[in-house]
Structure 1
Amino acid sequence: MQINADFSQRAVIRPGDSPWVPSPMAGVERIMLDRIGEELARATSIVRYAAGSHFSEHQHPGGEEFLVLDGVFSDERGDYPAGTYVRNPIGSQHAPFSRQGCTLFVKLMQFAADDQQPLVIDSRSAAWLPGLVPGLQVLPLHQHGSEHVALVRWAAGTRFNRHRHWGGEEILVLEGTFQDEFGDYPAGSWLRSPHLSEHTPFSDAGCLIWVKTGHLSA
């Protein structure tokens, strides 16, 4: 299976553009954003757990990265409420479930071989930093080599400088509406821009985004 598998091309999925697809486990379904492979795949997805659902114990051969969007996600190591960012390194394993239901943004099999640090960050209690322009606040989540991951909050009316993405850029809009000269992206939108792409982003109403840069093939 290949979905948005050409990383030299821009990809945009807005809410309602892609269907929910059942997983092999009852009560767990997903929206496939990009994917190379079948059930064991290099994949980026939105995953939804119904209340009381679980997934079989499994290993992460290429690592797992996720952000809890709503509800509470759990495994044998603990509970992860909305706003929690987690990295489970290559070779880790768990048996996840959700008592009350939850929604996750998940990336599988995308870790560098030497990126082996487990990570759990609760964005609700972490310290945010000033951004590069007035109106931006940034919560750094992860950095390894050229890859950087952060949450970025845009105040209403914030404009950012035109810039080029070395190693590409990937965005999930969590709140509000993110914008650039190519369009408007409401909450739930996912964007992937290739190596050396350019844009001039802004937000008239304000927004919160998850953003990763430097991770796509140069």
Structure 2
Amino acid sequence: MLNMDFSQAVLIDTDNVEWIGSPMTGVFRKPLAREEAERGHATSIVQYQPGSVFRPHPHPLGEEILVLEGTFSDETGDYHEGTYFRNPPGTSHAPHSHDGCLLLVKLHQFQLQDLNQISIDTSSIWQSKDAQILPLYQFDEERVYLVRMDQAHMFPDLSLSSSVEILLLSGEARYQGHSLTSGHWLRDPNFSLSSWQVMDKCFIWLKTGHF
């Protein structure tokens, strides 16, 4: 198991995590939290090298993906950089990437009642430089956002619970004395808004109320 104690805060610079191989050639992962090697709860940065293919597989408790770079594909279509999508419990697919891609992937973390399948093109905020919020998803207490912020606009109009997960996509921030730059992943069950400081314009993926 890796980082499965959700009562503890975790901060990881994913740029300093080594890639490890997956069961499929050309697909590599940086595990951030993992219940078992190839099943159960997992949060990872995943890389598909050009031309790589993953075997067809189901998602008993769902799959959540943000495409960070490149284009991810399966039998339902192509998902370009900035696309956020969710495949609910019971779905399956056979993914691949023609030109390669980089992903944030969360597996086996849906509520059983959450059967919504969504795909969102976030290009409006992905290509912008202005401070703004793009709500991506809400189910029960779980909320997911993309947020651009600067020192004048930090966490406006966000409904945050104490449990928060953040992937810093660009910019620089400080949290409880730690410097966060692009690629840092934070999971904190007792997130302190007063401890978050924007040092340079930040673009983050943020999830709250889910653990």
TM-score (norm 2): 0.91
Q: Percent identity, aligned pairs only?
A: 45
CA-to-partner distance for each residue in 1:16-52, whole Å, 9 max, x for gaps? 3321110000000000000111201210000000000
CA 1:120/1:126 → structure 2, altered by over 3 Å: closer, same or farther?
farther
Alignment of 1:176-187 (within 5 A): 176-187=171-182
Q: Which residue of 2 aligns with 1:146?
A: 141
Q: Which residue of 2 aligns with 1:130?
A: none
CA RMSD, Structure 1 to Structure 2 (Å)? 2.2
* Separation in 2, partners of 1:199, 1:84: 27
* Residue 194 of structure 2 corresponds to residue 213 of structure 1: no
Unmatched tracts of structure 2, length 5 or more: none
Q: Which residue of 1 aligns with 2:122?
A: 123
Amino acid at match of 1:202: Q
Alignment of 1:13-162 (within 5 A): 13-125=12-124, 136-155=131-150, 158-160=153-155
* Separation in 2, partners of 1:160, 1:79: 32
* Separation in 2, partners of 1:125, 1:136: 12
* Separation in 1, partners of 2:106, 2:10: 16
Amino acid at match of 1:198: S
Unmatched tracts of structure 1, length 5 or more: 128-134
Amino acid at match of 1:204: M
Q: Point out the more displaced range, 166-175 or 57-66.
A: 166-175
Q: Which residue of 2 aligns with 1:4?
A: 3
* Separation in 2, partners of 1:146, 1:51: 38
Q: Which residue of 1 aligns with 2:163?
A: 168
Amino acid at match of 1:35: R
Q: Which residue of 2 aligns with 1:131?
A: none
Contact 1:164 1:197 in 2 (8 A): no
Contact 1:158 1:206 in 2 (8 A): no
Contact 1:71 1:102 in 2 (8 A): yes
Contact 2:168 2:202 in 1 (8 A): yes
Structure with greater proportional helix content = 2
* Separation in 1, partners of 2:165, 2:175: 14
Aligned residue pairs: how many?
A: 207
CA-to-partner distance for each residue in 1:62-109, whole Å, 9 max, x for gaps? 100000000000000000000000000000000000000000000000
* Separation in 1, partners of 2:76, 2:49: 20
Amino acid at match of 1:173: L
Please state how far the C-alpha of 1:164 moved relative to its aligned partner.
11
* Structure 1 segments of 4+ aligned residues over 4 angstroms from their partners: 156-161
TM-score (norm 1): 0.88
* Separation in 2, partners of 1:197, 1:205: 20
Please state how far the C-alpha of 1:177 moved relative to its aligned partner.
1.4
